[in-house]
Amino acid sequence: MKKHHIKKKRQTKGSVFFRISQIFVLCLFIGAGFLFFRAGYIQTVFSLYKEAKEVIADSSIDDFRNYQSGEVYDADGELIALLRNDRNITYLTSDEIPQQVKDAFVSIEDKRFYKHGGFDPFAIVRASLSLISKNSISQGGSTITQQLARNIYLTHTVRWERKVEEIFIAIALENKYSKDEILEFYINNIYYANGYYGIQAASRGYFSKDADELTLSETAFLCAIPNSPSLYDPLTNGENTLKRRDLILENMYKDGKISQEEYEEALAEDIVLTNSSPSFTRTWAHTYIYECAARALMEATGEDYDTCREKLYNGGYRVYTSIDMDMQELLQSTIDRQLEAYNTMNSNGTYALQSAAVCIDNETGLVAAIVGGRSQEDVSTDYNRAYLSFRQPGSAIKPLIVYTPALERGYTASSTVIDSKEEDGPENSGGSYAGAISLRTAVEQSKNTVAHKLLRELTPEVGLSYLLDMNFSSIEAEDYNLSAALGGFTTGVSTVEMTAAYATLANEGVYRLPTCIVKITDMDGNVIVEPDRDEHQVYEASAAREMTNILEGVLTRGTARGHGLSDMPAAGKTGTTNDNIDGWFVGYSAYYTTGVWVGFDSPRGVSALSGASYPVDIWHDFMEQIHTGLPEKALND
């Protein structure tokens, strides 16, 4: 009875003590809360919570796909360039990221990734215990979602407010996006040192291969870097990177993601870095591609040029082009070889005598190759003369504004015209005059007098209207005079414009706006731009066919005789300006149209330059090679 009384008394005393302890702890919490409230901490936390919710509510997938490198593909679908900005990101969607990359990051960075809601207190406890027991941390306390929040929305400044907001943003991210999406965003946006963001850029940069070609050992090696890009920089601290690779492989093995055999093989594999980004030789075509792509985006979106240009470098677009890289290299090497003897330099170190050339596929009307100058090391290709330089076209303009319009108005190849000097008219090259000749002969011999008289009959307004109808961009008010018959323009024409105009003759008078853009897609393959080609009849089909027939004679009997193609009918026209300042040849087969300009950037004459010299030699050598093996095909067939 007494014992029972004592036990009950002790229980009563224990119960009272427990209640007093609860009250004391409660008072401590209340006191701490009061102090936090008075100090403004609670208000700050609520403010951070509200701000985090607003940030993520306004977020979109674009937040994680900004600054990704775009890609440019040639006519064969081969990658030929990256559209890069200050963050070299080559983005992969979730289904494009290899599973072993995902497994590696989850195993080493966030084992409970698929279980927590953005914040994992167990990870903090685990990291703390690891630090106490092993004096090192094998896995951090921040979840993958927290790291993503920090990389995209926050700074890396160590402050309690930033850590709290990081947790709130991570939780909000988990409520808005799926785990697969969050892992995709994370793997593409983390930094792999040396300018590489995302697993694809790192894979290409360190191993010169795509991420899906990596071995397990290479994958773990790359996944080691983001934890501390300076400490695990493979170029400067490769031993550290290898140690963390081994740790990642160990974690993957323990987590059941790889077998023991795979684990041991990956540990034994030697890592050999190539330390180079994809090696793309920058050609003159690249500048033109970017220009055409920006213009195509402008037309599709209605946004200004600068915005569209910026989007190309930040939006991760895939730009598919008509550029044939074999033809591009051939056109470049042909120009370089033909002009190699003229090696005089300008004061800035560039070649004085320059050239531009464009090749258009007559079947599609798309640009297959474009060269804006001679190749030269350490010289920028940004100034692409093929579309940025406007020069006097000389006699190469005659078929476009004189002879084909005349054929539409009753003239024929056999019509009689008078080659004679008029008091205020032009002279012929060489100073000779033949009197009554056929229109065909006048074209073949490039008679200035005949072209001048015919334009007077047509009027400059009529003649120049054809150029305007083919989007020649620099026709000035002062150009409406008879000197236009000989290519005497205020500003001039570009090589792209001239080549597209002759391609119109090859296409029976139907003009197609020159471009090299086939389509532009986003990173998911959705078509953003598929240019609606400007295609319309400029010349009557019959007149274009007859002009082509006449121009065939230029290569057999006329100013370009001896430069016809082997077993392939071709047509074309030379052009030489006063004092031999500009030389042109623009010609075509049934397959391709190629235009070539040669001259000096600061216009000056050189006696060796004419349309029948460097330009036609470049044209012939290039066209001869690209037609090798093609079946003979008649013009106007």
Catalytic residues: 109, 395
State the DSSP H helix or E strand holding residue 454, giving kind and residue range, or none if neither: helix 448-458
Beta strand pairing status for 517-521 and 416-419?
Answer: unpaired
| HEC assignment per residue over 93-146 | CHHHCCHHHHHHHHHHHCCCCCCCCCCCHHHHHHHHHHHHHHCCCCCCCCCHHH
Q: In this structure, what DSSP letter does residue 516 have?
A: -
3-state secondary structure of 509: coil
- Between CA 475 and CA 467 the distance in angstroms is 8
Give the residue from 332, 367, 324, 287 showing the smallest Cα distance to 83: 287
Tokens found for residue 2: 């007494």
Q: Residue 429 CA to chain centroid, in angstroms? A: 45
Give the residue from 606, 73, 628, 625 showing the smallest Cα distance to 355: 606
Q: In this structure, what DSSP letter does residue 428 have?
A: P
3-state secondary structure of 271: coil
Give the residue from 106, 300, 111 showing the smallest Cα distance to 219: 106
**Greatest Cα-to-Cα distance within the chain, rounded to the nearest angstrom:** 150
Tokens found for residue 625: 């090679």
Instruction: For residue 510, list its beta bridge partners.
Output: 537
State the DSSP H helix or E strand holding residue 73, giving kind and residue range, or none if neither: strand 70-73
CA distances from 287 to 142, 215, 317, 529, 611 (A): 44, 36, 16, 19, 26
Measured on CA atoms in the order 387, 390, 396, 399, is the torsion positive or negative? positive
Q: In this structure, what DSSP letter does residue 193 have?
A: S
Give the residue from 371, 355, 550 showing the smallest Cα distance to 445: 550
Give the residue from 229, 266, 230 showing the smallest Cα distance to 247: 266
Measured on CA atoms in the order 300, 301, 303, 309, is the torsion positive or negative? negative
DSSP 16-39: HHHHHHHHHHHHHHHHHHHHHHHH
191, 205 in Cβ contact below 8 A?
A: no
- Between CA 478 and CA 279 the distance in angstroms is 48
- Between CA 280 and CA 329 the distance in angstroms is 13
3-state secondary structure of 242: helix
- Between CA 148 and CA 92 the distance in angstroms is 16
